[in-house]
Each structure stands twice: as C-alpha cells, then as structure tokens.
Amino acid sequence: MAAAVALPPPATFPSSTASSATLHLSSSSTSSPELISSNANGSTDISSYTSSSQVISDATALLNSHAALLHRVRFAQEERRKRLLHSQTIPSAQVEALQQLPLVPSSSNVDRDVYGDYDEHEHDSEENEYAYDSEDEDDDIDAYAEEEEEQRLNRPDLPPAKRARVQRYKNYVPEEETIRNDYSQRYVDGGEWPQNWVQGAEPERRFEEYPKQQRLLQLKKASVNQYSLPPTYLPLAPTSTSSTTISTLSQTVSTSLATLHPSKFDVILIDPPYSSSGTASSSSGSGFTWDNLQDLPIPSLAADPSFVFLWVGSGAGEGLERGREVLAKWGYRRCEDVVWVRTNKDKYDKHREGEGGPGTDPPTTSLLTRTKQHCLMGIRGTVRRSTDSWFVHCNVDTDVIIWEGDPLDPTRKPPEMYTLIENFCLGMRRLEIFGKLGSSLRRGWVTALAPGQEIGLPPDGRVRVADVPGAGSGGEGDNGRGLGDGEGGPDAMDTDDAGVVATRWNQDTWEEGLRELTAAAASAPSSIMGGNGNGVGKAVVPMSSEIDALRPKSPVRQGHGG
C-alpha cells in the first residue's frame, strides 16, 4: 500500500531570482516527484529527487545484503573453530581461548538493533522475510561439514595405504604425505613434548595398517610363550648396605653373579643403578661406578654367540662413551643403539590445573632438554642374518620405543624392551641384571635383583607376579614351564604374567627345564632344513614355516636366500 504524501502549494521564487521553480507530483505513485524550474530565458530544467519509499526500499536492500554478509562471516568463523578442534587430539589453551571469543552477531540481532520495536507486527514480517533463522543456520553448517567430510573421505584416486590414513587421521594431507601440526609451538606454550603426538606408538596399535607384520608378531609371541620357563630370580646384595663400602658391594654383586656359572646365557639385559642419568658416582646414592660395572663377570656368563643390552642414560653424561668401553672390556662389539623416547602426556592435564606448563621440565646440566634414554646393544661372536635365522630375526622391531614411563618408579625402563629382545634373539636363556621385584620378573627370564630388592622377598621365597606383562599361563597342563598354547588375545602384543609364581633360581632345575624345552623345540615343525636347522641341540625358540615366510629377510644375493 502506497503512503499518501501531502505536498505544499507550488513554491514561487522571489522575482529577484534569475529563475523560478515549481514542484509537481507525478501521476505515477512509483515515480519520483519532479522539480520544474524556469530560468530567465524561459527555458525549463527538469531534475528528479529520491522519494521516501525509494529510500526505505534501498535501505531494506542494504540491510538484507549486510545480513547475508554477517551470515557468511559467522559461518566461516564456526567452520574454522570446528577445524581447529578436529585437528588436535587434545585442544591447546589457545584453541580453548579462541572458542570463548564471541562470534559475529546473527542477522536477527542486527535487525533488532536497527529497527527497534517501532512496530512489532511489521518487524516480525520483515524479520521473516530477511533474517536468517539460527536453526536453519546450524542446519546449513552441519550439512556443509558433512558434505566436506564426505568429500575428504571419498578419495578413490588414492592408493589403499593412503586411503586408510585418510580414514583414520582427520588432519592427514595425502598430497603432502604429512600431518600438519606445530608441536614445537605446543612445547613452548604448554611444555608438552612433541613425541606425545606420535600416532601408533602403542604396541597394540602400531601395526594396524600392516596385517602381515601384526600376524608375525602374534605368531612370535605365541611361540615365545610356549617355549619359556617360569620366571626365576637371584638376590644379589646383602640385606643392609648402609655399612657396606663401594668395593665390598661390588665384590658382593660379582660373587652373587658367579653363582650362575657355569650356566650360559644368550641375552643379558643390564640396567645399572645409575643408567637413567648416565652418571656413575658414589654421590648418586647407588654406590656403583662404571669401574665396578666392568668388573662384573659378564664374559663367564655369556654364550658364544650372545648379545648384551646395556642402558647407559640420556647421553648428557659420560654414559655413551663409558658404555662402549665396558662392552669392549667384556668382549662385545657395539652394533645397535635402542632409544627410549619418553613422553609427558600428563603435562596437558597438569597445565589445565595450573601445575604444569612451560619451564617445568626437570632441571638438567645439558644444553638441551633430555627426553630419551639409550640402550647400547653389543654382539659377541659371529652372527649372520642371512644364514643364522635359527638364532636371530632382524628388522622385526624398530630401534625406537615411545613410552610415558612409570610415575611411581622414574628409573623403570620400558616393558617393551623385553618383547623387542625376544623378537630379535630366539635364544631361550635370558638374564637380566639389576632387576626389580615389582616390574622385572618375567617368564623366560632369570632376574638378578638389584641391591636392596631382597628386602621385599617373602619368607618362603615365592613371589606372585602381578601386573607384569609377558608371562605364559603357567597353569595346569603345561608342566609349570609355560608350555601352554600361548595364543593370548588376538589384539594383545604380549601375554600377562599376573598370577604366575616366581621362585628363587636353582641351577639344576633351570638346566633340566631347558633340556626339556630344547627337546620339544627340536621336534617342532620348521621350514629350515639341513645344517643347524631350527637350532637342533640348541636352546632356541623354534621357527614355523609361517613365521619364516612373514619375517623380514636379507636381499637375495648370488642365489642364496635371506
């Protein structure tokens, strides 16, 4: 409905002016009024001006465009925040702060601010015509996000491996073969170490995209569980070391280890009392030095061939250099360096509670923050991966272990180290020196306890292992020697020792158990024929034909297999 406009009488300019003008209303209600003026010569000039209805119409169109702009900006803001949340497993403080910032106001709020409540009915009609409903806005955002996610997942042009990564990781960029994240900045802002975000670090998830490797590890786990003796231990030091000198303590440790002679071991794992720092001194509280360590009777306990795994610390001290010297003194050549990269995933929770944050790492004397521990691997004798597959399986695992650590025992090493050793060396005779009652007892291993651990031994000497990964069932029907099926769960990377009873090491019982296991292993099916096939007469875990087919091998050279 057109509004009636009352116009004044025609205006007549004074006679002193050079021209006169008269305002006329056009007969059309939609046209603009005309201003007709006459000059001194009698000629007429006609000019137009904008009416009130035209102004309102233009203003309405402008507000409509502005509302559409606000909608686009608000949608972009919300979409950006969603992407930030999806790109991070644990949102940072900056992302959370960004989420708290106000969004651009919706078009309905803008309309209310502009129009006011001058006419509720008219305002409602205009709002229905021009404003964007918030529910419709959310529906549009959800529909757009679903469409974008569907396009991201629907990539038939990619190979199967990349398609699997696209399905699993939201921030994976297949064109660049990378996942974009600035983990260095997260360390600066919150103290979180970059290795916290390594995907697939957990053993149970590591080979989800590699079914053959996963199957190989399951088979090896079952084989090791089946051919392993129950856990045993050997106390090393006297009950009280407060009045014992360093030299006497070293002599006591060496004497205790000498009781293992003449038994030989294929693998020896050593975690010295100072291995976490790599610094050995009497002031460290352990009373044990590198000189004391190299005097241990390791050569008399080691078989030929055999391997030694020696924890030497973070590299900040002299551990790496002295560790190599000690290996050489024992007659071993350093051949590998296994690294444990420690995580601090609890840093984020502490930071949110106001306890953590940047600058809260433990103090160090090194130039850089140390987040790793080194374990040197030494070899004695000659072992060829191409011909000695009855004894070693190479490249089954990597030389990097990622683990959070034990908050109750900062000196404890990754339990995965046992699995790594068992997957690599098939020898059944395994010895750990300076082990702990609470975490080191494991099927298939003899654990020489660290000084002071004997205090926790029960009177009868029978230790019930609890929450220690990697034991055979030890139940009825396996002769007490872990000779069960050893299958475990389909997704488990190791079995569970909980409930298995560890006893004090007895040489006669241990040797007799090895002979029985060796006889059982020698008759097991094997794909290796002739020579030492399957380690006949040797205490090694047998290798099935399926394991031999799945395990990594050396490149074929001159007609010989790996």
Peptide bond into 305 cis (omega under 30): yes
Residue identified by tokens 């790793």 is: 372
Strand ranges of the sheet holding 34-38, from the earlier edge strand across to the other edge: 20-24, 34-38, 44-48
pLDDT (0 to 100) of residue 357 = 67
Mean pLDDT calculated for residue range 500-523: 92
Given the structure tokens 């059982």, which residue do they identify?
520
- What's the gap between Cα 464 and its chain centre? 32
**What is the token pair recorded at 58?**
């233009």
- Per-residue pLDDT for 490 more than 60? no
Q: Is the pLDDT of residue 180 over 60?
A: yes
More confident residue, 430 or 278: 430
Strands 463-464 and 333-342, bridge-based pairing: unpaired
Binned at pLDDT 50, 70 and 90, residue 560 comes out as: low
Confidence at residue 238, expressed as pLDDT on a 0 to 100 scale:
56
Average pLDDT over residues 479-491: 37
Structure confidence by residue, pLDDT tens digits, 398-444: 999 999 999 889 899 999 999 999 999 999 999 999 999 889 999 99
Task: Provide CB contacts within 8 A for 428, sequence distance 6+.
Answer: 227, 228, 229, 266, 444, 514, 517, 518, 521, 539, 540, 541
* DSSP characters over 384-405: -TTT-TTTB-TTSS-SEEEE--
Q: What percent of the chain has pLDDT over 70?
A: 66
Residue 17 has pLDDT above 70, yes or no: no
Q: Is 228's pLDDT higher than 90?
A: yes
For the ranges 48-52, 53-57, 105-109, 146-150, which has the lowest average pLDDT? 105-109
CB-count burial class (<10 Å; 0-12, 13-18, 19+) for 76: exposed
Is the pLDDT confidence value at 301 over 70?
yes
Q: What is the pLDDT of residue 218?
A: 93
C-alpha–C-alpha distance, residues 515 and 426, integer Å: 15
pLDDT tens string 105-126: 765 554 444 444 434 444 444 4
Q: What is the average pLDDT across 84-101?
A: 68
With CA atoms as reference, report the closest residue to 492 among 199, 221, 293, 269. 221
Between 76 and 471, name the one with better pLDDT. Answer: 76
The pTM is what?
A: 0.63
**What is the torsion angle, in degrees rounded to the nearest 10, for the CA atoms of residue 91, residue 97, residue 100 and residue 103?**
-100
User: So what's the pLDDT on residue 477?
Assistant: 35
- Taking the C-alpha atoms of residue 216 and residue 222, their distance in angstroms, rounded to an integer, is 10
Q: How far apart are CA 270 and CA 375, in angstroms?
A: 9
- Residue range 271-287: mean pLDDT, rounded: 62
pLDDT confidence bin for 23, thresholds 50/70/90:
very low
Check if the beta carbon of residue 93 is closer than 8 Å to that of residue 358.
no
Q: What is the spatial distance between Cα 393 and Cα 217, in angstroms, rounded to a whole number?
A: 12
HSE at residue 74, side-chain half, CA atoms within 13 A, is: 22
What pLDDT is attached to residue 77?
A: 80
CA distance 259 to 257: 5
Higher-pLDDT residue of 234, 29 = 234
pLDDT of residue 88: 62
Confidence grade of residue 140 (pLDDT, cut at 50, 70, 90): low
pLDDT category, 44, cuts 50, 70, 90?
A: very low
pLDDT for res 282: 44
For residues 34 and 353, the model is more confident at: 353
pLDDT at residue 31 in the model:
43
Gap between the Cα atoms of 399 and 339, Å rounded: 6
pLDDT digits (tens, 9 = 90+) for 189-202: 778 888 998 888 88
The whole-chain average pLDDT of the chain stands at: 75
